[in-house]
Amino acid sequence: MKIITVTLCLLFPLLSPNAVQRSDPDDSWTREELRMANTAGNADYLTAEEKDMVIYMNLARMDGARFFDTYFQEFVDAHNQEMQQYGNYEEVKVSRNSSYYRSLRRDLENVKNFPVFWPDEALSRIARAHGKDLNRNNFTGHKSSDGRSVAQRIGAVYPNKSNGECLAFGFSSGLSNICMLLLDKGVADLGHRKILLNTSSKLNTVGLSIQSHKRYRYTAVIDFVSLPD
């Protein structure tokens, strides 16, 4: 069962003969686990890449250490291989010696059997509208061009509920977006990682959208809300 979308804003090439060959991450998960993570499988309002974001978020929450050792390592290998063509490779690579990498490993070691996220069509429309706004007006940020905050945008449909939002730029694949948000490189408070691995706010429902972006080629928007079970 292959669930990976490998398209990035820059396509991943095949690993060179000298690269470390890793086993297929799918082989480390049972068919039942992959099925449990695929809560967006029947969400026809999402693209394949958007569905993949749900799968990878859920796998990271189901078994963080195993996700780190499988899919996250696959992402790092492919990302770093691709980035070698650029002059600022040291800046854009994912370093396995960095504090962000090491802290992610520690954090994911403590994640086991967290509740999975479920997709929502209304929330996905909100995420899609913000992604289109970011592209149309060529900016980044959680506040809309008309001044609305995340809480106001989500609250228009789901008032008085805990909510949050993650934004990622530059990637078109589900795996890449989730791995970069978990790594949270350059984000001092690790805010994206904290939302993705959150349990205290009871966030259980997500809306997702991957859109084009004038400056960064792609933007991914994930909106979160806490709804009754």
Residue 25's pLDDT is 87
103: β partners: none
Tell me the C-alpha distance between 184 and 210, whole Å.
Answer: 18
C-beta separation of 60 from 197 below 8 A: yes
pTM: 0.88
Sorting pLDDT into bands at 50, 70 and 90, what band is 24? confident
Q: Residue 7, SS3?
A: coil
pLDDT tens per residue across span 32-76: 999 999 999 999 999 999 999 999 999 999 999 999 999 999 999
What are the tens digits of pLDDT across the range 130-167?
A: 999 999 999 999 999 999 999 999 999 999 999 999 99
Query: Are 82 and 19 spatial neighbours (Cβ–Cβ below 8 Å)?
Result: no
Q: What is the pLDDT of residue 1?
A: 36
Contacting residues for 191 by C-beta, under 8 A, at least 6 apart:
184
Q: What is the pLDDT of residues 86-99, one digit of tens each?
A: 899 999 999 999 99
* Token pair in block for residue 227: 């709804």
Residue pointed to by tokens 């959680």? 142
The model's confidence at residue 182, banded by pLDDT at 50, 70 and 90, is very high
End-to-end CA gap in the chain: 29
Joined together, the tokens standing for residue 5 give 């979308």
Task: Classify 10 as helix, strand or coil.
Answer: coil
Q: How far is CA 141 from the centre of its chain?
A: 16
Spatial distance between the Cα atoms of 12 and 174, rounded to a whole number of angstroms: 14
Sequence-ordered list of residues with C-beta below 8 angstroms from that of 36, at least 6 positions apart, any chain: 58, 62, 116
Question: Hey, what domains does the chain have and what are their CATH numbers?
Answer: 1-13+21-229 (3.40.33.10)
Question: What is the chain's percent helix, strand, coil content, to nearest 5?
Answer: 45, 15, 45
At 147 the pLDDT is 97
